[in-house]
Each structure stands twice: as C-alpha cells, then as structure tokens.
Chains A and B, each alone.
Chain A
C-alpha cells in the first residue's frame, strides 16, 4: 500500500531558528515528491517539486532534500518567521501521475 509518513506531527520553534521536517514514503513506482505549505483554512501551496534525479532543491528559505534509495525526504526551513506557522505536507506522486499520496503533515508553530 502506498503510504507517506511525516515527522514530527507538530513542532514549536522560536522565531529565527531553523528546523527540519521529515518525510518517509513507500509509494512505488516513484515519479516525484512535493512539499506543500497549508495555512489554516486555506488550500495547499506548492513549495518544491523534486524528481528521482534531484537531491536538493531550494525555494528561498526552504530547502528540500530527497534520497530516492532510502525513500526519504526532508524540508529544512532557515531563519524561521512567524508567517511560517502552517502545516507542511509531503506529497508523493507515483503510478498514475494524476493521483497524489498525501502525508499526514507536520504542524509548525513559530513563536516569539
């Protein structure tokens, strides 16, 4: 069964600090992996998209890594801001490209 698991479930950090979110998946065959940011009550917004051959991709203060051998990905947030408070969802596409397997999400809260 295709699954995407994320850790931690929730995280509280101080503004300005860095953090790393983890994603493990069993989706096969693998096509690509995305990280989405979802503010409360809003739709998800794509942060990064990574294919099999990509190890690292950055989008501003967000850096995603992918290890396709171990089927793991991480999202590193640098110099966190209050506006980073949101749920971060790892999404893996495999098999039929129009269907996504969503992770359980990590709820990040950035405080003063």
Chain B
C-alpha cells in the first residue's frame, strides 16, 4: 500500500469557520508534510513532522495549526482563514533521514480548499 489518503477532497468554508484537513498513511513512514499549492505554481512546504514532532514550520500564519496525533495521521486545523488561503493542500509522507532510497515522498491527492 503506497497510498496517502486525504479527506475531504473538496472544502468550502467561510472566514469565520473552523475546519480540519486530514491525512492518513499506513506505509510506516515517520515523516509527514503539509504543502500548499496555488494554481500553476509548485507546492510550497508548510510543515514537516518527524517522529510525530514538528521539525519544520515555514513561517506559516497561526491560522493554520498542524497536529500529528500518531505516526499514521496528520491533521491541519484551519481557523479564520482568508480568501487568499484558497489552494490545493497536499499531504506527503516519507521515511526521515538522509538515505536516498528511504526518502521518496509519497503525495496524497490533496484537498482543494475554497475560502469565501
């Protein structure tokens, strides 16, 4: 199983709403990532979790709050978002470490988020 599953596939929310994006993998990967991708642009790294601990936060606004409850799950809690936050949010997982053979990132299909 090389799948990274993201839910929901689509999400529409108002600027006062609170919602969560979910990501799940069962490949035994201990590194998980959140990316934001705007149309026709490459993905931008937001957060990295390694062994369930936040290891990288790319200066993401606090209205995005990541959570890694266990080694298989990664959540992204959303609160008071702005219309410019509308994008495709991608989750990925990999084995942490520097060995090339263990470091391939597997991406989920993404959640397309629209903030009204």
**A: which residues have CB within 8 A of B?**
31-32, 34, 41-46, 49, 51, 89, 93, 97-100, 102-105, 107
Contact = CB atoms under 8 A, between A and B. Distances in A.
B100 A44 contact: no
B88 A41 contact: yes
B81 interface: no
A98 B42 contact: no
Contact of A42 (B50, B94, B96, B110): B110
Interface string B34-60: 000000111111001010000110000
B31 interface: yes
B110 A100 contact: no
B48 A43 contact: no
Contacts of B50: 98
Contacts of B55: 98
Interface residues of B, number: 31
A31 B110 contact: no
A99 B45 contact: yes
A107 B40 contact: yes
Contacts of B112: 41
Contact of B100 (A49, A98, A107): A49
Contacts of A98: 31, 48, 50, 55-56, 94, 96, 103
Contacts of A42: 109-110
B110 A43 contact: yes
10 contacts: A31-B98, A41-B112, A43-B109, A43-B110, A46-B105, A46-B106, A89-B42, A98-B55, A98-B103, A99-B45
Interface string B3-39: 0101000000000000000000000000100000000
Given A41-B88, A98-B56, A31 B43 contact: no
B107 A43 contact: yes
